[in-house]
Every structure is written in structure tokens, then in C-alpha cells.
Amino acid sequence: MSDAYVGVDIGGTKVAVAVLRDGELAHHDIRPTAVAGSDALIDEICALVDSVRDDDVRGVGVGVPSVIDFDAGRIRTSVNVPLADLPLRSVLADRIGLPVFLDNDATVAALAEASSGARIEVANLVMLTVGTGVGGGLVLNGAPYRGATGAAAELGHMMVAAGRREASSEPGGFPRHGSLESLASGRALDHLAAEAAEQHPESAVGRARAAGEPVDGHLVVTAAGAGDEVAVELLASLGSWLGIGVANVINALDPDVVAIGGGVSVAGELLLEPARRTAREYILPGVGTKTEIRRSKHGPTAGVLGAAILAKEEMKGREEAR
């Protein structure tokens, strides 16, 4: 018998779950995000936890792409999932019957990236998750940084092109025009793919459009990996905007590591190389001389792993406080 912890990673398009036991993740499950409303999504989360839990599970950690009041376990606002203004921690704890801990999804991913097992090994790390939106997480001086109210760090909403107007933003809403999320997210890549399909009918995205097939960011990543020049250029454009965001966080924080995760990061160097190249153009000389810009070492499991580590660490803190 050994203690185990469930990690739940809620994204704009999928919900993933896994169990952390003896430093290893197991019993993975993943389902499309239920976006019909908060009740449907809560039902889905509970069903996923039930599908992997056993008698060894002591707690559940949940990462959500939302602005979190960490101490209260409440979601303040949420852009990509229907969970705004909800005391999610207590709602899930009542339904599941176990202690539940709630944090921003990129914060828990940053915790995973900075850790080996449950021990933080990278003192200063910035996590940028490039998925449906762009999330940000910080580990500073060896601990997760959540700010004065638990809401840090919404790095996807930093401005990288003030005054720019793009189709991926809703006028007056969030993400704002010119923000990192509006220009470097999976949703932005979807819009770039649709535009390129019309302008380049000979390309992979153009041929897919003509055949009535889905034209989106997933197709761009696949086509770029196969050598399609238009798809490669689309990822380079996305990577360039991402690089400006990377430069901003390096200029501000001079971290040991900037880790890029999220679904779009599966493009690997096709995304990261233009991001690094652009970042170097905007980093102040003398800053970031030791910073490594790399892909998430945990890939798509960073969110569930970090959520499970969150539960483990919070449970440990409770016991030590007694």
C-alpha cells in the first residue's frame, strides 16, 4: 500500500486525469471537455476521477485555465471553460469525498516542470502553455508564485502588439487584441490556417479545405511535420509572437528556464526555433544569459503531473501544520 494522488488537467478542448504513485504517473484517461455548462463539466471531472481512483488515493489536485482565488479554492473568471464564479474546490470535494486542491493549470504545469518527483530542482522557472489559449505559471525562489490574491500569472494576456487587430480576438473581450494569447495560441493558429487555406489552395490546408476536411491548428502541426512549406511558415509566425512573450518574461524575471508546453508545443523545434530567434532580438543584452528556452519535458502530462504534485504537497503541508 502506498499513498497516491489524482491529478486533473482541465483544458479548453480536453480533460485529462492520471494517478501519481511512488513518483510515477499511471491510469491515464482523457475526454473532450464538456462545454455545455458548469454542471456538465463538473459531472465529467467527477466521472474521470472515479474512473482512476482506488483506496490508496488521498487527495485530488485540479488545474484549470482560469483566474483562481487559491486560498478560497474559487474560480473568479474563466475564458475557455464554463466555470466562472464558482467555488470549485468545495463543490468537487463534496462530490468526490476527498480533499481537493485547485490552482491555475499553467501554475501546476510549472510545478511539474520545476520538479523531479516531488522535489523542486529548478529555482526560477516560467511556464508558457500554448493550447486553446496561452497560460502562464511561475516558480520563483523554489516555490510556486501566485501573487497577492492567488491569481498570478496570466502571462497570456501580456500585450505584445498593442494596437494590432486580429480575427482571433473578440472586440472588447478577452483575449484583448494584441495580447500574446490572441496571437500565439492554438485558436490563433486555427485562424491562420483558415486564412492560409484560402490564399494557398495548393498547400496541405488548402487541399483539406477543398476536400471539406477540418482546417485547424492540428492540421498545421501535422502538415508542417511532413514538410509542407505553408504550414511551416504558419508555425514560424506563431513562434515569432511567442518569442516576444518569452523575451518579456526573461527581461522581467531572468529565470533559469522558460518551458513551453501545451498542445501546440508538439510541433517542437518548428515552433521553438522561431520563438528563440525572435526572443533573442528583444532580450536586453546581459539579461537571460543563463536562461534555457525549452519544450516542456513532461509534454502533455505536465498538467496532470503538476496537479497531482499540488495535492501531494498540500496534503503534506496540512499534516506538518497539525
Residue-wise pLDDT tens digits, 210-268: 999 999 999 999 999 999 999 999 999 999 999 999 999 999 999 999 999 988 999 99
Q: How many CB atoms lie within 10 A of CB 96?
A: 18
Higher pLDDT, 175 or 118: 175
When pLDDT is averaged across residues 56-84 and rounded to a whole number, the result is 91
Residue-wise pLDDT tens digits, 293-313: 999 998 888 899 999 999 998
- Which CATH class, in words, describes the domain spanning 123-296? alpha beta
pLDDT at 168 over 90: no
Q: Can you point out the beta strands (E) in the chain? A: 4-10, 14-21, 24-32, 57-64, 66-69, 74-78, 100-104, 115-116, 119-120, 125-130, 134-140, 143-144, 257-261, 292-295
* CATH architecture of the region 4-116+300-321: 2-Layer Sandwich (3.30)
Higher pLDDT, 165 or 50: 50
123-296 matches 4-116+300-321 in CATH topology: yes
pLDDT at 320 over 80: no
pLDDT at 169 over 70: no
pLDDT at 1 over 80: no
Residues 6+ away with beta carbon under 8 Å from 224 = 231, 232, 234, 235, 267, 270
Give me the pLDDT at residue 173, please: 78
pLDDT at 116 over 90: no
When pLDDT is averaged across residues 36-45 and rounded to a whole number, the result is 94
Return the C-alpha cell found at 66.
482560469
Give me the pLDDT at residue 80, please: 77
Domain boundaries, the chain: 4-116+300-321, 123-296
pLDDT at 95 over 80: yes
pLDDT at 23 over 90: no
- pTM, two decimal places: 0.84
* 128 close to 245: Cβ distance less than 8 angstroms: yes
d(CA 133, CA 167): 14
Give me the pLDDT at residue 167, please: 63
Give me the pLDDT at residue 170, please: 65
DSSP class of 179 = B
Torsion of CA 100, 42, 80, 58, to 10 degrees: 20
In one-letter notation, the amino acid at residue 106 is A
pLDDT at 22 over 90: no
Query: Could you give the percent of the chain with pLDDT greater than 90?
Result: 74
